[in-house]
Chain A
Amino acid sequence: MTQNNPAIAVDQLVKVYKTATAVDGISFALEAGSITGLLGGNGAGKTTTIATIMGLVIPTSGRVSVLGVDMARNRHRALHRMNFESPYVEMPMRLTIRQNLTVFGMLYGCDDVPGRIATLAEELELTDLLDRPTGKLSAGQKTRVSLAKSLINEPEVLLLDEPTASLDPDTADWVRGRLERYRAERGATVLLASHNMGEVERLCERVIIMKKGRIEDDDTPQHLLARYGRHTLEEVFLDVARGRGEARQAAQ
């Protein structure tokens, strides 16, 4: 796929909840195989944008397509080719890891569910835990299970909502490494919403910064750092969040 036929295309997306505008006319397109960070403070519209990409939310106006499928109308044509991971959506606690992955493997239409579970368990170091109830795992182990679920169907499009939130630095680094490896091996398109600027800087080749439902900036991390005259994405983010971006760019 090229930029003319992107993996994810968001076109003039608007979402209004009653009187509150969550997303206000944003557009972007993500090339197949790219990894993009979606940054923004609380209430910036990131979650609504990701939910609309998954077809969980119907836009007020505008269009979202994934792998060429209109997600508001035909999301079931694309859902088996994508997946999602978030620490805020949990897996059934009483079921063992193996049981949970079996259920999701079947839901996603995996051909060889036991084989896929064995492969993922080995890659994500879950083999010894497979028959343990998911509710009895540590936060880091739960994140690995959630990651295994999100990779069960070898998705072409992977949406991640703060995948390393509440993890210790070592585990978070390990998760980032796995995501990088999966993307490199499978050529998947990844959209990552995160508050962790270091994570975005390390993983993403493109960064979209949202504020109050709009896209405030959209560029590579290197170009953003250069344009804002900053050393870290965190400083760039703070400039954008506090409205200093335009002034600083003008001064540059």
Chain B
Amino acid sequence: MTTQSIAFSPRRVAAMVLRYWYLLRSSWARLIDLVYWPTVQMLMWGFLQLYIGENASFFARASGIFIGAVLLWDILFRGQLGFALSFLEEMYARNLGNLMMSPLRPTEFIAAMMIMSLVRLAIGMVPVSLLAIAFFGFNLYSLGLALAAFFANLILTSWAVGIFVSGLVLRNGLGAETFAWSIMFLFLPLTCVYYPVAVLPPFLQYVAWALAPTYVFEGMRALLIDHVFRVDLMWQAFALNVVFMAAAIVAYLRLVDSARRQGSLLAPGE
């Protein structure tokens, strides 16, 4: 016997989270991959900062801006990747057909992938942030409320991009998979992760200020260099994220609709 809600169902979201949890739990390679790159990145930027800090007074004064930037960047990058990877796992497993023919609704699928991106981030970033304390004395958690605001804004952007990329893969098959891995790198120079917006040429500064993570990285520098938490920047980032998120969900639903018209849900392939 079944009791079925045709509205949004938390139980179906839980089913999908469980599906990805079972997968993660069964694969040590997947678990190690979550920690490996963030650790390498953190160590590389941390040692670079140590070296520069010993030779330049600005960096000595602003200790932690590189390592803070790389940790926040990883939240953005890994958040999006964690979202998209859950989706790609269905393509690799050729299980998408089963899901698309089940009562799972697109919004429930998205919610499950959001939760899994948080789970993957926690598995990857918590150990790395602890290593940053051990190796470089940089305590990300000492940012307190600011860290919560930074995290919320970065994860919202990562989800918006992840939703859009998943729609592209659904519509165009695994040929669009490369976007899942690479699209966020476009944000790396434009959102000014490691340098202030003022460094960019004027026309690119307009582009940078149209992207929510830029406000977060500027906010981080304001906090670490000037010891000021710029609440205004966080609200501006949040407003942009609301727009991005709404646009991504609309795009995803339209791409699903397009896939149904083109018949690409039948055999999502290359």
Stretch at the interface among A4-12, A101-109, A122-130, A204-212: A101-109
Q: Contact between B18 and A103 (Cβ–Cβ < 8 Å)? A: yes
B residues within 8 A CB of A76? 6, 103, 105
CA distance A99 to B257 in the complex (A): 30
Partner of B2, one of A17, A56, A93, A110: A110
CA distance A81 to B3 in the complex (A): 10
CA distance A179 to B261 in the complex (A): 32
B residues within 8 A CB of A153? 2
B198 adjacent to chain A (CB < 8 Å) = no
A residues within 8 A CB of B263? 15, 17, 22, 48, 51, 56-57
Q: Which residue of B lies closest to A133 (CB)?
A: B26
State the Cβ distance, A112 to closest chain B Cβ, in Å: 8
B residues within 8 A CB of A178? none
Q: Which residue of B lies closest to A90 (CB)?
A: B94
B100 adjacent to chain A (CB < 8 Å) = yes
Within 8 A of B (CB), among A157-174: none
Q: Contact between B23 and A84 (Cβ–Cβ < 8 Å)? A: no
CA distance A48 to B6 in the complex (A): 25
CA distance A73 to B36 in the complex (A): 45
A92 adjacent to chain B (CB < 8 Å) = yes
B12 adjacent to chain A (CB < 8 Å) = yes
Q: Contact between A103 and B105 (Cβ–Cβ < 8 Å)? A: no
A149 adjacent to chain B (CB < 8 Å) = yes
B residues within 8 A CB of A15? 263
State the Cβ distance, A60 to closest chain B Cβ, in Å: 8
Mask: chain A, 78-108; 1 = CB below 8 Å from B; 0 = not:
0111011010111111111001001110111
Q: Contact between A107 and B266 (Cβ–Cβ < 8 Å)? A: no
B196 adjacent to chain A (CB < 8 Å) = no
Q: Which residue of B lies closest to A110 (CB)?
A: B2
CA distance A89 to B94 in the complex (A): 6
Q: Contact between A90 and B266 (Cβ–Cβ < 8 Å)? A: no
Q: Contact between A108 and B103 (Cβ–Cβ < 8 Å)? A: yes
Of listed A79, A84, A111, A133, residue having the most chain B CB within 10 A: A79
State the Cβ distance, B254 to closest chain A Cβ, in Å: 13
Which interface class (under 10, 10 to 19, 20 to 34, 35 or more) fits A? 35 or more
A residues within 8 A CB of B18? 99, 102-103, 106
Q: Contact between B23 and A94 (Cβ–Cβ < 8 Å)? A: yes
Which interface class (under 10, 10 to 19, 20 to 34, 35 or more) fits B? 35 or more
Mask: chain A, 126-158; 1 = CB below 8 Å from B; 0 = not:
000000010000000000000001000110000
A21 adjacent to chain B (CB < 8 Å) = no
A54 adjacent to chain B (CB < 8 Å) = yes
State the Cβ distance, B150 to closest chain A Cβ, in Å: 34
B182 adjacent to chain A (CB < 8 Å) = no
A231 adjacent to chain B (CB < 8 Å) = no
Q: Which residue of B lies closest to A95 (CB)?
A: B22
B240 adjacent to chain A (CB < 8 Å) = no
B16 adjacent to chain A (CB < 8 Å) = yes
Q: Contact between A80 and B15 (Cβ–Cβ < 8 Å)? A: no
Known: A89-B94, A93-B93, A110-B1. 16 other contacts (CB 8 A): A56-B266, A58-B257, A86-B97, A88-B267, A90-B93, A90-B95, A91-B98, A92-B19, A92-B93, A94-B23, A99-B19, A102-B15, A106-B11, A107-B103, A108-B2, A109-B5
Closest 3 A/B residue pairs (Cβ): A106-B15, A80-B4, A89-B97
List residues of A whose CB falls within 8 A of some B CB.
Answer: 15, 17, 22, 47-48, 51, 54-58, 76-77, 79-81, 83-84, 86, 88-96, 99, 102-104, 106-112, 133, 149, 153-154
List residues of B whose CB falls within 8 A of some A CB.
Answer: 1-6, 9, 11-12, 14-16, 18-19, 22-23, 26-27, 89, 93-95, 97-105, 257, 260-263, 265-267
Q: List 24 A-B contacts (CB under 8 A).
A: A47-B266, A55-B260, A56-B263, A58-B261, A76-B103, A77-B6, A80-B2, A83-B101, A84-B101, A86-B97, A88-B97, A88-B267, A92-B89, A94-B27, A99-B19, A99-B22, A103-B19, A106-B12, A106-B18, A107-B99, A109-B2, A109-B5, A109-B12, A112-B1
